[in-house]
């Protein structure tokens, strides 16, 4: 008699391929399980990528979900993670076409999903800087909110995302050009916001573990602009800790 | 009034009353404290450190006893337990301190692919031993007894030589777990596979039933689909009354996961289950 493992693997094969045999009755009803698995997967993607769904329509979204699932089947019992590879899949699937920008829209929506389930940590204010000597400032390392995700694109994906928060959004205007921004958990939901390119570079550097001095260099901030950027970082409650790296 | 710990969290068991599933569309409305005995939440929705769902459950938890109900562990999978998933359940248990923790008597993954569905097991001695061993392993890791739920089925394995109730009874006995009896699933499987629903109820180990589920189903081309998208049908209410008359009052959940209605509708369905529970108590008095 077939083992439990063999029975399950033959059932799984029949879910992937209707022509595969499986010792169940009535075998025709395996189609219900195929449809369930497909619908559950597609439903999870629809929850994670609502603006992408709105832009491409339900039918094309279902097609994309189908092709994506063939290439990247679910690897977890928790469908929260089903969309993790969807942006990369779309980038490959849509490369070179008029819809290539949808991959970056999906990247933004995945970032938003990632932000949505992170904790909101107590922020520190700019007054913490007073605890450090002037010669330490270049060596400061900032811990940012765990939910902060930074996204940049050659396409105006933030404009598209923000314009599509209701029904009947206007067509995406690609002439706006490149954009960068962040997604961040707030106590009442997730904030999605464009950022100035130098602020984005600065935050990206800090998020990657760079010191304040290195972040300022990479973002090409002059003195007055650094003052603004620091005020923004603390004022928007992005910073949760500041320490001084040891001197070399 | 429930007994409260110093943080205001209701302690003690889930009462033998009707409860409802906490769904995201009701996160705000549940703060009005509708008159239901307890709440059930899907474990997988609370696997994360933050988010509106986690905060909503923390608020709701202060007012109701809680059951955590997993839909993704698929303990009957022959490829073994997803340890990361199990660890996340443990963290959710530590965080929310549920009075009941449940999973399904099903499988869900093979060869690394998860189907994210509650797939039916063959009712064989090997499957009894395997599922019981997996349940024991999960219980040992979680430090908690699990309730294992019967799933609805559209097909049956030709290899099955036990009835489903014999299968469940043997798993419960070997694993030391409890049973979550989904009366709608009994009805759906019985209709789809030509079983006797009342014989199913009669056949489960009554003393081990720690919770009951009720839900709606759909009918497509003569097949009953367990979609949790409508009111409990009259036949399932009748089967529920029969089950309660055999088992005695048990915590009873109204499950409604698709086309989720207003909170008032859920509360009304729960009130109907409470009436059945009161009638049985009245008969016993």
Q: Does A214 lie at the interface with B, CB-CB under 8 angstroms?
A: no
Lowest mean pLDDT, pick from A229-243, B78-92, B164-178, B269-283? B269-283
pLDDT in tens, B130-150: 999 999 999 999 999 999 999
Q: Does B234 lie at the interface with A, CB-CB under 8 angstroms?
A: no
CB contact under 8 A, A4 and B55: no
Q: How far is A236 from chain B (nearest CA, A)?
A: 19
CB contact under 8 A, B78 and A27: no
Q: Please check the confidence at residue B284 and state whether its pLDDT lies above 90.
A: no
pLDDT at B6: 44
Q: Please check the confidence at residue B9 and state whether its pLDDT lies above 70.
A: no
Write b or e for each residue in A103-124: b if 16 or more Cβ atoms lie within 10 A of its Cβ, otherwise e.
Answer: bbbbbbbbbbbbbbbbebbebb
Q: Please check the confidence at residue A67 and state whether its pLDDT lies above 50.
A: yes
Coil vs helix vs strand at A90 = helix
Q: How far is B147 from chain A (nearest CA, A)?
A: 18
Q: Does B49 lie at the interface with A, CB-CB under 8 angstroms?
A: yes
B24: DSSP letter: G
Q: What is the pTM of this model?
A: 0.93
Chain A residue numbers with beta carbons less than 8 Å from the beta carbon of B48 are: 80, 117-118
Question: Reading across the β-sheet that carries A179-186, which strands appear in turn?
Answer: A149-153, A179-186, A189-194
Q: Domains in chain B, start-ordered, CATH in brackets?
A: 18-284 (3.20.20.150)
CA B212, CA A105: separation in Å to the nearest integer? 43
Residue B285: band (very low, low, confident or very high) from pLDDT cuts 50, 70, 90? low
pLDDT at B283: 72
pLDDT in tens, B222-258: 999 999 999 999 999 999 999 999 999 999 999 999 9
Q: How far is A206 from chain B (nearest CA, A)?
A: 22
Coil vs helix vs strand at B188 = helix
pLDDT in tens, B257-279: 999 999 999 999 999 999 999 99
């Amino acid at each position: 008699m077939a083992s439990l493992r063999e029975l399950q693997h033959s059932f799984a094969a029949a879910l992937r391929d209707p022509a595969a045999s499986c010792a169940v009755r009535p075998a025709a009803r395996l189609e219900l399980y195929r449809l369930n698995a497909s619908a559950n997967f597609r439903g999870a993607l629809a929850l994670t990528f609502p603006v992408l769904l709105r832009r491409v329509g339900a039918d094309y979204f279902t097609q994309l979900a189908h092709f994506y699932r063939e290439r990247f089947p679910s690897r977890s019992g928790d469908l929260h993670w089903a969309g993790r590879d969807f942006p990369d899949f779309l980038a490959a699937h849509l490369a070179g076409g008029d819809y290539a920008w949808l991959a970056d829209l999906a990247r933004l929506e995945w970032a938003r999903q990632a932000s949505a389930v992170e904790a909101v940590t107590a922020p520190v204010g700019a007054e913490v800087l007073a605890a450090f000597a002037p010669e330490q400032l270049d060596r400061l390392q900032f811990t940012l909110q765990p939910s902060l995700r930074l996204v940049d694109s050659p396409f105006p994906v933030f404009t598209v995302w923000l314009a599509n928060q209701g029904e009947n959004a206007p067509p995406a205007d690609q002439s706006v050009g490149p954009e960068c921004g962040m997604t961040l958990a707030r106590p009442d939901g997730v904030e999605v916001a464009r950022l100035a390119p130098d602020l984005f570079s600065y935050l990206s550097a800090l998020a990657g573990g760079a010191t304040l001095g290195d972040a300022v260099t990479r973002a090409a901030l002059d003195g007055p602009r650094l003052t603004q950027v620091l005020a923004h970082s603390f004022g928007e409650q992005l910073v949760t800790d500041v320490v001084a790296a040891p001197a070399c | 009034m429930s007994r409260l710990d110093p943080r205001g969290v209701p302690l003690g068991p889930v009462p033998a009353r009707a409860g409802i599933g906490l769904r995201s569309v009701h996160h705000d409305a549940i703060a009005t404290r509708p008159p239901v005995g307890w709440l059930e939440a899907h474990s997988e929705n609370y696997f994360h450190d933050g988010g509106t769902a986690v905060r909503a459950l923390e608020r709701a938890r202060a007012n109701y006893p809680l059951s955590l109900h997993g839909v993704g562990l698929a303990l009957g999978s022959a490829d073994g337990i997803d340890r990361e998933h199990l660890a996340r359940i443990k963290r959710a248990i530590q965080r929310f301190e549920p009075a009941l923790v449940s999973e399904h008597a099903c499988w869900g993954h093979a060869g690394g692919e998860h189907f994210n569905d509650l797939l039916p097991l063959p009712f064989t001695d090997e499957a009894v031993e395997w599922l019981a061993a997996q349940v024991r392993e999960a219980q040992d890791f979680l430090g908690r007894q699990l309730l294992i739920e019967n799933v609805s089925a559209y097909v049956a394995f030709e290899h099955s030589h036990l009835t489903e109730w014999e299968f469940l009874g043997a798993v419960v006995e070997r694993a030391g777990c409890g049973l979550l009896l989904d009366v709608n699933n009994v009805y759906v499987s019985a209709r789809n596979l030509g079983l006797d629903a009342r014989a199913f109820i009669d056949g489960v180990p009554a003393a081990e039933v720690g919770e009951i589920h009720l839900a709606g189903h759909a009918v497509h081309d003569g097949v009953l689909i367990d979609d949790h998208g409508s009111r409990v049908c009259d036949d399932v209410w009748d089967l529920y009354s029969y089950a309660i008359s055999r088992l005695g009052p048990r915590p009873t959940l109204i499950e409604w996961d698709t086309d989720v209605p207003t909170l008032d509708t859920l509360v009304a369905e729960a009130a109907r289950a409470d009436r059945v529970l009161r009638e049985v108590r009245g008969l016993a008095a």
